[in-house]
Structure 1
């Protein structure tokens, strides 16, 4: 089996990309790091044996598989060390996600979007066109659109994209320097016998399952400020301020406090995949993002227009 490095999106912005964005989908590429006999078709069929989609000989016939110079690859093309192959990721079937994003702001640098629950940020796994990035590229014709931070598929709310190559790094650096002020809201059981607000800290590491995190003893590397906004019976609405940006930080922190966010299928216990069941969205919302614009110095704040869904009281 040949070894390779595969990346799912376009290369660096200043690199030549031989295939255009098509219907919102950017081409993917794959580096070949070891030559092998048998021809390109045999290599692709072996490498992507478990991936659904049109047969590779059909893609080649359409000109959708090319080398770094944009030249069409044929079934008998050589597989050589150092080659970069460009192609479009395709899915034969994809379940529509019945929720729409909303544009909150757009200028010559940024696009700010109010993401719905269940919509993935970028193509991955069984999601391609039903992702926020591809939807926006298709609707707005912004081929260089890139998210400069992420939200989980299950989380709704404010997310920022860059569509200007020249200023992208400047805005990305705000997140790296942690000068962005992010506020979330969550519905969860009422946390009794605590004084609000309070700060929760822990050491977060990868869990045994690749898609979850866990806590362990040691120097804390995650921090969340927790505020109580309102309570209804045994439930509460919280305002959460993550001072660090660990994967699933808010979800794990709330579960560790014994008040897991409503409808969380990962914490405290990872439940079986619900597939395309959209009936119980995670009650976590990226409510707002605020920062000083690094180009102009102006204060910026963007707020989600979405709300969380309190469950009906018993007997309602």
Structure 2
């Protein structure tokens, strides 16, 4: 692979990159992660109880209508089966699907004898201070408990090695995406960093390998992305009511096999934005289980550990430190070569 594909995201002007850290602290942290995941925490059967929170907009509706509306990727009959099995609870008591709910109530969804799918738990903390924790995320690994994953998620694993400290998520990556993830350690830092995201002051750089050869070496996609997921949790382009979205792309390498390497810079932060924009433009990401060639959609969200990688990598993140205001840049220690693209 050409050198400048790997180096494209490294160029930064007037940035203060924190290149040194207390290596002892980081080594201890990463050793603790390795120990906590030597046996994946979700690989041992347990009773998994997930909350069902009723928002005010559902006040007076049936519990069945609440869960079907809130989880469009799950069909109505599946929910009815769970109710019949006694797996939808209030406290320890099973409830009926026709129960009328009040806004603010919480119910529980029991998944008995849960064994979660395997994940890649080779998580590396690359920086931390009193305000920030920066992680180099592997894949497949969901960011937070969702669907089939609970203990085998990034936030759950980090919680176990940060003594129950509640790390606040600065931004999210797909389960299948590798690279830099930012967490905040206090509400003040989270508020300041969120304001930078809202103002478009945080620069994110991704590397991708996709199918096809675009006509131009640079292009921009501004297709609006749906506000809500559709079937199987998939979002797509919605030109009528979608959220404004913009991604800048530049081609770094064109491969004879019909693929190309791309540097992507999202200027907005919509869910699955880069994947959707490349798919919509006719150049889907290699290994993407959802956004397939020829504008087809798959039914799978998270790939299996043994599957080929999805070739999307969060290579770098630039922002101002929430305490000092200094410009900082964090870069992934992984490369396309080490990710086996």
Q: Structure 1 length normalisation: TM-score?
A: 0.69
Distance 1:192 1:173, change over 3 A: closer
Per-residue CA deviations over 1:273-299 (Å, capped at 9, x if unaligned) read 376353212100011100122321111
- Kindly state the Cα deviation for residue 302 of structure 1 after the two structures are TM-superposed: 0.6
Measure how far apart 1:199 and its partner are: 1.9
Match of 2:208 in 1: 186
Unaligned runs of 5+ in 1: 1-22, 37-46, 58-64, 66-72
The answer on whether the counterparts of 1:133 and 1:146 sit within 8 Å (CA) in structure 2 is no
1:1-316 to structure 2, matched below 5 A, reads: 28=51, 30=53, 50=82, 92-194=114-216, 196-205=217-226, 206=228, 208-209=230-231, 211-217=233-239, 221-233=244-256, 234-267=258-291, 268-273=295-300, 276-308=304-336
CA distance in 2: counterparts of 1:87 and 1:308, whole angstroms = 41
| Alpha-carbon contact 2:120-2:140 (below 8 Å) kept | no
Q: How many residues align?
A: 265
Greater helix share, 1 or 2? 2
Instruction: State the 1:214 CA deviation.
Output: 2.2
Larger radius of gyration between Structure 1 and Structure 2: 1
- Aligned CA distance change for structure 1 residues 128 and 217 (closer, same or farther; 3 Å): closer
Per the TM alignment, residue 29 of structure 1 is displaced from its structure 2 partner at its CA by 7.1
Q: Does the Cα contact within 8 Å between 1:120 and 1:152 map onto a contact in 2?
A: yes
Q: Give 3-state SS (helix, strand or coil) of 1:175's partner.
A: helix
Q: What does the per-residue CA deviation read over 1:56-83, in whole Å, with 9 as the maximum and x for residues that have no partner?
A: 99xxxxxxx9xxxxxxx6769xx99688
- Once the two structures are TM-superposed, the CA of residue 309 in structure 1 deviates from its matched residue by 5.3
The alignment yields a C-alpha RMSD, in angstroms, of 4.0
> TM (normalized to structure 2)?
0.65
